[in-house]
Structure 1
């Protein structure tokens, strides 16, 4: 159930007619659900995955059929998003056909649990090639068109392992990189009404089903994640936000700074930091910062105040 303070989406509220949406990793799972839902609400949809279209049970082909059955318009591309040349050619093709790109959902990703000492360099690089470089390639390819049009909605897909999970070092690191990308990129997009956000969803899919106990699987339908993503695709969404969505729960996450402890130059030693760790650790109140520059300014102001220095 949606929280009463969170307005559940209905088809008549948020529509996407005349908009062009690209969804990566659309052959199955949440990517497929996002693509079909956007088509249901009137968007022209581009679906992308790396699986061969010649496959007997092609998920891309099945997703495309579901969209056309709804009366929607769809373009299908089989490509590796870590290949920037292929991505650029695809986006050029889409813009040549449909004139623009309004929405990009960077949903594609890979997941392979592995003990850190067994994690190969090639597996580490491949994780970043798909999750980070692929999202970079897709976003960079559509960015100029969105700037020219003065509008865009971009979503990066993260995962709960950003908090850390055993055997998830490459997965956690790649997803955390996307949070940093969004924190900076949304600042560049503000002038052009380009909203950039992350979504950390969880739902029962082919990838996740084995990690959920049978008793809790019914709680993790796609509804919550789907509603949150559609909201982030809309003209009404915020920017620079990180949403968690699963099992009827939607929340905003962020990086916060707890209240700072002040030290003079003479007393700032590792031994004194250790002795005062109980005061430093999660000291309240806490706050968030709008940018890295805002953090530097806060440090400067606090230090200047301690030394009775006036800043212009």
Structure 2
């Protein structure tokens, strides 16, 4: 197995350093590709000073799906893993990947917090008669040929790219293995305010793009919205939220769902193939603004 590891990062220099240290210990022979951008915390200099990174790609977009695809584009391994910049891979990470590929073309493993145990089972759903096994956002490995068939991640999505790729893998009848030993630990992750508009825009988009307009899709979308609305209303009742914020969130959810449904229909019409990816790797060639490739000792800008 020739393993390439893609690590997208944005303003996470210190945590990225810890991630790369862990990768060097657990996977010293892997090709490591860092995709940075656009960071303003000295990440570029830190990476260029290391001797355990093979390729540094600088991108201008602030979307992780773009960063993942930029890394996949330059990866040379027959297996390509995607990990978050704020995780540490376990000593058994490589063994877990190897074991998973005995039965599947995609392997994913748990992402645990430093002070908690990893979940012991994979998340699965049946949607429109299709069994979907969800891959972990920051801990997944693909056979390179499988990623080629998928055309990478859908760059329309600012969030939910891994959920979308899980639906597309199911649509292409690609198997996904869950290996508990392929574990990573998330270190000191910052809490971020949820963008409710994008959450529901992404949810509606990926469901409509992959399954079309059908009762199951509408029911799942409305179910999510209802659950979140009830939770937010309870926060208001407890004095932990403001009614104006609750109404504002509701507006964002409605706008996001409407936009996602519309754009999902357009995407479904644009790509009728099983890969369902009208915004994939093959659709553009301008992701990287600079590339430092120490495999061949060349720089491209």
Report if TM-score (shorter chain) is over 0.5: no
Larger radius of gyration: 1
With normalisation by structure 2, the TM-score equals 0.30
Q: Which has the higher contact order (CA 8 A, sep 6+)?
A: 2
Higher strand share: 2
